[in-house]
Amino acid sequence: MTSLDAASSVVLQRQDRSTEGVLDWISKMLPVGRRDVGAAEIAMLLTPLGWETSFPDPARARGVTTAVVEGRVVVMEYEGGPYAMQFRREGVPVPSVVRIAAMDILVEGAAVLVQGDQREQLGPGALIIHPPQGDHRIEWQSDHVRRMTILTTTRVFGQLTGPVLRTSDIAVHDAPLAPAMLALASELLTLSDTHLAAAAGRALEELVNATVAAAIDHSRRAPTNLRARIREQLLARHHEANLDANEIARALRISRRHLFAQYDGAADTFGSELRRIRLTHAAEILASPDENITVRRVAKTTGFSSAEQLTRVFREHYGVPPSTYRAQTLAAAGAPHANLRHA
């Protein structure tokens, strides 16, 4: 395995293998305590975790975060302006039993959850569960938004692959344990006693596990739609440079025409979905501190035909070339880095 392959494996499977590595990485990206953040800081934090951010008015996307890491639990409170988050996270062929569970509790403001052609309005008290893989978008719409983000370890995802939650189970309006989770998370942000903080962290972890388990149990009763199966194929095979609609249609035993019909009326196309998956993977690899990463190797690993194609598409999508993105991301994490080589 090359150094790039090793780095790619670590980045892609953070949620499935190294819990301590995930929490340590997040704590470096977002230091504990109160911090002013803007559009650039939000993007740097979320992109390597599988989120793509967009800002209708970057100047208004400012806020304050307060974070704490306690044992196997990370709590972060954000209070500030609106922005949108697109979650696209691929699965792995044989995931580990222990993974990361992430959820948001909307405290103030309004948001909308978008998954495929489904849209769901969210208000204060809504709970959003982010599964270890899948595809959904959250648009924080109010001028002022306050939310609590909780990340912790869980075994309840087991070794499930592919999308594991329906839209109706990702967003929960009357989650019975949400008030208790919000109260514990709020306490963790202010507790100075280490023993009390550890106890609160353990209790919060159990509440998160119970909530996620209930959502998974409900989702297992629903069939997986064809669009989700197409995306699952793209996530598993996007590194293949010659991957196209014919290959995916053949794997799913459907016609090419039927495959394209799944995108009728959608905001994206087969080609744009494949391109975003490849770009997200490229961004994750670039966020790794591995000194042997080059643009050419990133392109080869993520299915782009050349370093030049990756650089052009990456700049169009993220607004900066891969070298600048890597330098800014590692600098935000406080990690040392060398200049990104082309070949």
Q: How far apart are the first and last CA of the chain?
A: 18
pLDDT recorded at residue 15 = 40
Chain-centre distance of CA 65, in angstroms?
18
- Whether the pLDDT of residue 13 is over 50: the answer is no
Average pLDDT, the chain: 78
Q: Which residue has the higher pLDDT, 242 or 31?
A: 242
**244/275 Cα distance (integer angstroms):** 11
What is the enclosing helix (H) or strand (E) of 155?
none
pLDDT recorded at residue 169 = 77
- Whether the pLDDT of residue 135 is over 70: the answer is yes
Highest mean pLDDT, choosing among 34-38, 115-119, 138-142, 265-269: 138-142
Beta-sheet pairing, 111-115 with 134-140: antiparallel
- DSSP E strands in the chain: the ranges are 33-37, 51-54, 63-70, 73-80, 84-89, 99-108, 111-115, 118-122, 127-130, 134-140, 145-154, 171-172
pLDDT recorded at residue 3 = 34
What is the enclosing helix (H) or strand (E) of 83?
none
pLDDT recorded at residue 313 = 93
pLDDT one-digit tens code per residue, 222-275: 445 788 889 989 999 999 999 999 999 988 888 888 899 888 877 789 999 999
b/e code 162-186 from CB counts within 10 Å (16+ = b): bbbbbbbbbbbeebebbeebbebbb
- pTM beyond 0.85: the answer is no
Q: Which pLDDT band holds residue 4 (cuts at 50, 70, 90)?
A: very low
- Whether the pLDDT of residue 11 is over 50: the answer is no
